[in-house]
Each structure stands twice: as C-alpha cells, then as structure tokens.
Amino acid sequence: MGVPTAVEEGLPAPIHRALLEELPLDAEPGVVITACEKRLHAAQILRNAMESRALAAYFHYAGPAVRLAHSTGSWQHITDPSTGKPCRSWAAWLRAAKVSRQHAFRMIKEEPLLDALKGLNVGNLGVRQIDVLSPVLTAHGKEKVRLVWETAAETGDTGAANLEKIRDQLGLTPGSAAVDEELPEKSSTLPVLRFQASPGTFDAGKVREAARAQPEVALLVARTIISELEGDGAEA
C-alpha cells in the first residue's frame, strides 16, 4: 500500500521508505519490534506533516474572514446563540463561529506580520514579539516592520526586548492611538484586568472575566508576577 500522493510530497526519503517497507511477520522479536518502532516513528512524522498542512490551509482560508470580521466590527451584528441577543463581545462571536481565541489572535496579529517578514528567517513569533511589532505594522506598514526585524537580526537578537529597543530607537514607538487599536475586542464593554476592588480584597470572578477577554494581556501580567515572586524567592 503506497502513501497517498497528497501527503507524500515533501517527506524525507528515509521516512517515505519506512512507510512503504514491509513489516516482518516471521522474524526474531528484536527485529520485529525494531521494524515496528521504525514504522511508528515514520507514521508520526507523516501525521505531523499532515496536521501542519491542514492547519496552514485553515489559516489561509479562515484568516482573511476573521480579520475582516474584526476590523469592520461586523461581528456585533450577529446573534449570539447562547443568549439570543447580538454578540456583546469578540470572544462571544468567536465561540459562535467555532474559532479558538488562540487561532484568532494569530490570524489577526501574527499572520500579517509573517506576511510582512516573508523571506526572512523568522519562524513562529512569540506573543511579546507580536505585541512589539503589531503597532509598527498598523502605523507604518510592512517595510518598517522588516526594518525593525532586519536591524535586530544584524545584532544577533530578535527577542522581544531587543525588537522593542530597536523599534524605539528608529522612532517607531506606538502612540496611545496605536496601542488602543491593538485591543482584541472592539467593544466599549471590554473589562479591565483588576486584582483588587479595594485594599485587602480580591475579586477572582472579575479577574477571570478580564483574562478571558484579554488573554495576551493576562498572560503578560501572570508572567511578570511569577518572575517577580521567583526573584524575591531567590533573594530570600
């Protein structure tokens, strides 16, 4: 049985051979298990390749629709099936459309950046890198994003901190308007991430609500708190 043409393209030759090689039905146990593990390894490589291609195709076709819905605010005109009323939040529309928040975040912010950086050795962008570069793309366009990245690459460091430093050195620091534009929800009811309503109190429900609405902000806050606590522990 051959490997389907649609998935065999691009597979390394040894993996392709391992998928086609007959399994030994009458051999020593050591030979049998070695052949089985070799086949399983090749099958996993095949599966990963198929999932990667499927995800790339999904982003290719779904990304433009998600970006358009977000930029136009048209999602607010759809009825939320869970309430029977117009969607009050971007997250509610994503749930109705069956798009994960993680995928939507990538479609709105990471994909346009990867397109701007096409041809450069970028790989997957982290949340902090996206947060640094997204305002540059919005306010100044693709060429300035490439300039920031290429300048950082020349120093051998394309981490978020260095990208931010170079961005600011190049005079591309975002103003308040650009920062506001990067909010994931275009809604006046977007909750603010708060830990204390008053000294000595903690409202876990409000924190969870804000974290669900702004996961990238919540993640940055969590990382900062953990980093600070670990630092205190080390000093102690």
Assess whether pLDDT exceeds 90 at residue 54.
Answer: no
Reply yes or no on whether the pLDDT at 16 is more than 70: yes
Residue 34 has pLDDT above 90, yes or no: yes
Confidence category of residue 164, pLDDT binned at 50, 70, 90: very high
Q: What is the pLDDT of residues 62-73, one digit of tens each?
A: 989 998 999 899
Indicate the average pLDDT of the chain. Answer: 80
Across residues 180-185, what is the average pLDDT?
Answer: 39
Res 51: pLDDT: 87
Torsion over CA: 31, 33, 38, 43 (sign): positive
The pLDDT score that the predictor gives to residue 148 is 94
Which of the four pLDDT bands, split at 50, 70 and 90, describes residue 198? low
**3-state SS of 33-51?**
HHHHHHHHHHHHHHHHHHH
More confident residue, 148 or 106: 148
In the predicted structure, residue 191 carries a pLDDT above the cut 60:
no
What pLDDT does 128 receive? 83
Hey, what amino acid is at 90? W
Work out the percent of the chain whose per-residue pLDDT is above 70. 75
What is the per-residue pLDDT for 189?
45
* pTM: predicted TM-score of the whole model, two decimal places: 0.55
Tell me the residue length of the chain.
236
pLDDT of amino acid 125: 83
